[in-house]
A and B are shown apart, each in its own frame.
Chain A
């Protein structure tokens, strides 16, 4: 207790020291403020001197019929002290306006000095001396002007600083008062603490009693006290512990039930079989408190019961390739009257079942059934304590039922997922079609594309009016011509794109058609280092517009050629699948990155900056769409691209026109 009192006194002393420190810092702050105030006053005096000096110098300048006498030294001193004053000012003020004024003042002073020097030292050329005199006087006037302006700011500053200093003193008064109050307060706190030190054991005991009453059974008082207080505490502790024990027993049942609930819940929260099995074995191990839990499931294909991963208390290696003949399991199943059971470890059946496990003390077999059919079983080994009870078997059977349902659900969920994926793929195709219909955006693009050449044309036309020589006029005309042609090309392509082509349907031999197209492009390929391979299957004639299809393949083949500027292989392949004809155009070119592949069917998207119009593929897309077909693209960067066109042999009569 004495030690404690010493500590308290020390604390009070430290507090005193602290508040003393605060007071000293605050006081030194005030002193600093006062110092800067004094400096300001000094500066103001210097400034006033400066104005007087400047006026003297200026008067001297104007009346200089004779020359500077001893006054020159005074002038030099004055101007130099003016300079110093300004330099010292720049060091302490920080308001932007003032700093700017000061910099200006300093600059002018420098100029004044230079001009004055030049005036004083120039010995010849009276005309120049006169000119210098005037210029110097001019700068001097400006200097005076600036100095007067500054007086206002300085006064302002002076007032501000005085006010700040006064405020600071006021503040310190409060700080001192506050620290005094603080010490008093601390004293009070210490007094209160000392009293509570004595009352503590009594309060502890009554607190503990309240604790137990409020339900915290088994709460004990930590004490090594040998007084009556200590004895009382020990008796209290015994009582509390026995209360706790009886409480715990009733809690155990509750725990099991809630464990079951928890496990069932988690079965339905996971969708993957392995996770369900994990939840099962770990849940059972937790609820039953078994050392090892293992599940076997019937494998339809292999017609055997295999251990399922994971298992509790086994490593994955332990249970690998652990399987049973169905006939063996069925014999046990029937022997058990199709009911889950406890088996003695020395039983023959148990030994057969557990040929891989050692040190088995007790064992329960729980059958897993789906819709009344045996699908597997669960082995629960070495329950903590006395072994399995009938109650455990009942609990495990309920869990087993829940497990079966969960497994069933997982299977269903997987099937659903596959279906969803298929649906999504179909939707993507639909989105593609919808995109092309977004004419609104298209219109903006068109306007932009055509506006560029038009602007050039207008610009050069205007320029031509001002040109004087025929050469420039001809050059401008050439540019106008080429820009107009560019505009016409864009318009023509657009017409092509937006036209509602009536399809001229006839019988088309696709292989024949491809050969025709190849004839058209073969000239372009010559000497370009591109090999051509064809793999044509026998195809039925299809119903289609031969000319429009030609345009599509021409477009695809041209794209393929342009994708292989360094040469490569162009492959054409045809095949018949079900009721469709498939045509593939592949290149070994640069390929299309994924982000680009999504856009290639959009109008005005082009990677051929200077050549393409960005309409080739969208047009192709529309033609194939009209034929009731599909166009797909598969590409790998630096490997090549394959366009696959799928056309129905017989067109459906219901074609949605785009």
Chain B
């Protein structure tokens, strides 16, 4: 009896070790993900996509999380990435600073292919316009986002606020979009900014939030989660990947994976998509080459 047990346990070990063996010699692509609120859930969402790509193209696709928004450009080079899903500003910066090209971007479940930013206040704060914001506390998200920093900055500037320090009694960076909303809700800040998708997500979980918040302004449309690949990858590989992604909504398995990413399908992306970002940087008088996105 003990022998049987031993054999069973042993065979189980063998099976386990077999399944973890890697095929090192095959072609492999390393794709980066910009971290979202919960990176663990994020990687679980993206893993089926990687598997799907591997299966359809025969190229092993591996995912890696890129820590902290701002480090992305450096990390891309350091880690030898082949591509990444970029956000609005990170995408624009990457296109400018790295030799990459946009490949595809998703269409959201509601059919939109863009996101945009809000500037928000508490409804009972009495703030209705920029004029009412004098001497108040402002909470940005992060310097490396359009919706959480560049847009509000350009909005205040176009409404005559030349110098943040002189106009607001205090401003700070919350570090995440939803934090900005909570700061406003709790009265830890008077004015906040947030990306519409994250705001909608919060509201769907807690509808009372919407009743307490007033939206003061809405930003222009910004591209979202664009997959960019290194320009020097073999043309055939890029084409194959693009083909698979653009047509994956035609089979059931593909649609299931897309649904996990909250997307209907992928559409072709281009540098043009990032035009609103460049424009915004321009109105702020920032040079894309030298823009300091790191807070600190």
Contact = CB atoms under 8 A, between A and B. Distances in A.
Nearest to B178: A118
Interface residues of A, number: 35
A107 to B, nearest CB: 15
27 contacts: A37-B5, A37-B8, A38-B9, A70-B64, A72-B39, A72-B67, A73-B65, A76-B43, A76-B65, A113-B40, A113-B41, A116-B40, A117-B35, A120-B39, A120-B67, A121-B37, A122-B175, A122-B176, A122-B179, A123-B70, A123-B175, A124-B175, A125-B172, A125-B174, A128-B174, A129-B175, A169-B1
Most chain A C-beta atoms within 10 Å of own C-beta, residue among B4, B69, B176? B176
Contacts of A72: 39, 64-65, 67
Interface string B121-158: 00000000000000000001111100000000000000
Contacts of A73: 63-65
A80 B296 contact: no
Nearest to B71: A67
Q: Chain A at the B interface: mostly helix, strand, loop or mixed? A: helix
Interface string A10-50: 00000000000000000000000011011001100100000
Contacts of A120: 35, 39, 65, 67-68
B239 interface: no
B40 A83 contact: yes
Given A73-B63, A80-B40, 16 more contacts: A37-B8, A76-B39, A76-B65, A79-B40, A114-B38, A116-B39, A117-B37, A117-B40, A120-B39, A121-B176, A123-B69, A125-B173, A126-B296, A128-B174, A162-B5, A166-B1
Contact of B5 (A34, A113, A121, A129): A34
A125 B64 contact: no
A121 B72 CA distance: 12
B39 to A, nearest CB: 5
A350 interface: no
Contacts of A166: 1
B164 interface: no
Interface in A139-174: 162, 165-166, 169
Contacts of B78: 69
A123 B68 contact: yes
Contact of B35 (A38, A69, A121, A128): A121
A116 B142 CA distance: 19
A121 B39 contact: yes
A68 interface: yes
B contact residues, range: 35 or more
Contacts of B63: 73
Interface string B166-184: 0000001111100100000
A67 B67 contact: yes
Interface in B159-206: 172-176, 179
B27 interface: no
A68 B40 CA distance: 15
Nearest to B4: A34
Contacts of A45: 16
B236 to A, nearest CB: 28
Contacts of A83: 40
B18 interface: no
B295 interface: yes
B71 A80 contact: no
A45 B20 CA distance: 14
Among B1, B36, B64, find the residue whose CB has the most chain A CB atoms closer than 10 A: B1
Interface string A179-214: 000000000000000000000000000000000000
A511 B174 CA distance: 100
A42 B16 contact: yes
Given A42-B12, A70-B64, A72-B65, A165 B5 contact: yes
A129 B78 CA distance: 24
Interface in B251-296: 295-296
A34 B1 CA distance: 10
Interface string A57-91: 00000000001111011001001100100000000
Contacts of A69: 78-79
A76 B46 CA distance: 13
Given A67-B71, A118-B176, A76 B40 contact: yes
A242 to B, nearest CB: 76
A121 B9 contact: no
Given A42-B16, A80-B44, A83-B40, A121 B8 contact: no
